[in-house]
Every structure is written in structure tokens, then in C-alpha cells.
A and B are shown apart, each in its own frame.
Chain A
Amino acid sequence: MTHMTHAKTKNSTLVFTLISLFVLLGLTVAANKMEHGALATVIALLIASAKAVIVGLFFMDLRKSTSLTRLFATAGLLWIFIMLVLTMCDYVSRGM
């Protein structure tokens, strides 16, 4: 048998991924109970981003993907980021 199309992720890695996702979910809920206001928003979004990165790297195999695939995966995020930042710059600076 020649090489596989790509190396398979181990079952134990998948289990570990799931556990870390649930830990982060617990953190989200705990942080939300303790903290309110602007900081809570930042914390909640940071934890969500961490979860998304874990799903992307381990479940969606970006960890073992080629650079080109990773570039495609981040392209959409980059455009959304540009749209959010530019639009919010406009709204924040309108002095309403």
C-alpha cells in the first residue's frame, strides 16, 4: 500500500479535542456568571474563537492541511474582519 492521501487523526486526539471543547464551554458559562459588562463580551468572544480554532485544527484537519488550504480557510475570516473593523470605525466616529 502506498501512502494514504493524508495521515489520519488518532481517535485519542479526537477525544482530547472534545474534552477541551467542553472545558471551554464550561469556562464560557462560568465567566458569564462572574463577569458582566464589556469585559464579559471580550471574554465570551475570545473563548468562542478558541473553540473555533480547536474545531478547525483538529476536527477539520487544518493542522495537517497544505498551506494553500489554510490560506483559503482564513480568507473568509479576513474579509469579515475588514468589514467589521471599517464599518464599526464609521459608526464609532459618528459621534451619535
Chain B
Amino acid sequence: MSEAEMPVSMQFDDAAQEHEAATLGMWTFLATEILFFGGVLMAFTVYRRLYPEAFSQAGHRLYPWIGTANTGVLLFSSFTMALAVHEVEGLARRNRLVRYLILTALLGATFIGVKAIEYYIDYREGLMPHFNFHPVEPFEHPIQSQLFFVFYFFLTMLHATHMIIGIVIMLFYVGRTRRADYAHDLRLKIEMFGLYWHFVDIIWIFLFPILYLIA
């Protein structure tokens, strides 16, 4: 089926207009997400300036190599997501689309798995505020250093929640694509979902240096 024959939702003149409207809507949502994460990052920046020493000492307890590995996994998942969107046009290549979506979901799950192991290590080392904050090697400023970990867990959990939501939506789309349900609106949705996935990747691109490296 060519693009011209594709049914378009009734409020649009043609597929190009529908595509533009969907893209604008998605970016509007992503802008609100930037403000959502931005508020927490703003608070982090203020406290990092107020307690530079405590935040620096706390940040050094994290494992940059785990963060680096996870960044690699996430960058690769963005690549497979882009490949999936690349396959979205042709009906004949449905199987490849499904494969790329599943691969992206698996990479996302890998990221979450590594993060879970990392949380467990943090817990074992007594770095988890409220649940177990008895650092093996005590901090000079325990209260301020604990604040760093509050931010660390809040930011990374907020990010991980976005990823889990993304994985669930992705599996849902895999199901619909495999059924004969592969209609025009689904192709558009997968493309817009790709924007969300890349955005979550960009959030991590900033969280990684802010939490792991420059503390």
C-alpha cells in the first residue's frame, strides 16, 4: 500500500499533515518532561554548590564503569529503535520491525537489570538513604552526603520508571505489529514512541556525567 492510499484520520488533509501534527504533539510532551527532570536537576545543582565537598565524596562511592557500560547499552538501544522506525514504512518488512523492537526492549531490560544490581551493591555498601544508610567507610558530612544519594536514587529511579513504561509500550506494539493490526495509525505511533525512547536516552546522557563523573 502506498502512502497516498493510506487512510488518514478525518481531521487531516493528508498523511504529511497528520505526521507533522503528531510530531509537534510528541515534542510538546517531551518539553514538559524536560521541565519535569529539570526541576530536580535544578535542586541538585543548588545543593551541589552549597555542599561541594560532601557531594564530591558521596559521588566517588559510585562505580563509573557500571554507569559507562549502561550508557553504552542505552545508546545501542537508541540505535535499534532508530532502525525499527526505519522499517516502519514497508508492510513487507514487518518481521524486521518486530525484531528491532524486541531487541530494543531487551536492551532496555538489560539496562534496568544492571541498574538493579547496582542498587543492590549500593544497599550492601550502606549507601541507600532511609533503608540502609550506614556507609562502610563513614563520610565527613554524613547528612549532606546522604542528600547526594537521595538525589541519585530519585533521579535514576525516575529515569528507570520512564524506561519501564517504555518497555511495556514497546511490547504492546510488538503484539499489535505481529497481529494483522499493522495499520497506518500504528506506524505513526511507533515512530512517535521512538521519539520518547530517544528522549529517555538523552536524559541518561546527562545524568551519567552529572551523577557519576563530575561529583
Are both chains from one complex? yes
Which residues of A are interface residues toward B (Cβ below 8 A)? Answer: 1-6, 8-9, 11, 14-15, 17-18, 21-22, 25, 28-29, 32, 40-41, 44-45, 47-48, 51-52, 55-56, 58-60, 65-66, 68-69, 72-73, 75-77, 79-80, 83-84, 87-88, 91-92, 96
Query: Which of B16, B20, B75 is the one whose CB lies under 8 Å from A69?
Result: B20
Closest to B25 in A: A72
Contact between A2 and B24 (Cβ–Cβ < 8 Å)? Answer: no
B38 close to A (CB within 8 Å): yes
Question: Contacts A55-B205, A56-B202, A91-B46 given: A25-B213 contact, CB under 8 Å?
Answer: no
Closest to B16 in A: A5
Q: Given the complex, which residues of A lie within 8 Å of B198, measured CB to CB?
A: 55-56, 59-60
CB distance from B146 to the nearest CB of A (A): 21
Q: Which of B80-88, B120-128, B161-169 faces chain A?
A: B80-88
**Interface SS of chain B:** helix
Question: Contacts A4-B3, A80-B35, A84-B45 given: A11-B209 contact, CB under 8 Å?
Answer: no
Question: Contacts A22-B72, A29-B64, A72-B27 given: A79-B4 contact, CB under 8 Å?
Answer: no
Interface size on B, residues (CB 8 A): 51
Closest to B195 in A: A60
Query: Which of A2, A6, A18, A44 is the one whose CB lies under 8 Å from B76?
Result: A18
Question: Contacts A14-B86, A72-B27 given: A47-B78 contact, CB under 8 Å?
Answer: no
Query: Which of B46, B82, B86, B209 is the one whose CB lies under 8 Å from A48?
Result: B209
Contact between A8 and B86 (Cβ–Cβ < 8 Å)? Answer: yes
CB distance from B51 to the nearest CB of A (A): 11
The 8 closest A-B pairs by CB, nearest first: A76-B31, A76-B34, A44-B209, A1-B2, A80-B38, A72-B27, A2-B4, A5-B19
Query: Which of A21, A45, A65 is the one whose CB lies under 8 Å from B75?
Result: A21
Q: Given the complex, which residues of A lie within 8 Å of B33, measured CB to CB?
A: 76
B71 close to A (CB within 8 Å): yes
Contact between A11 and B86 (Cβ–Cβ < 8 Å)? Answer: yes
B9 close to A (CB within 8 Å): no
Q: How far is the CA of A6 from the CA of B86 in the complex (A)?
A: 11
Question: Contacts A59-B82, A84-B45, A96-B50 given: A1-B3 contact, CB under 8 Å?
Answer: yes
Q: How far is the CA of A9 from the CA of B46 in the complex (A)?
A: 40
CB distance from A5 to the nearest CB of B (A): 4
Contact between B206 and A65 (Cβ–Cβ < 8 Å)? Answer: no
Q: How far is the CA of A71 from the CA of B194 in the complex (A)?
A: 19
Closest to A11 in B: B86
B103 close to A (CB within 8 Å): no
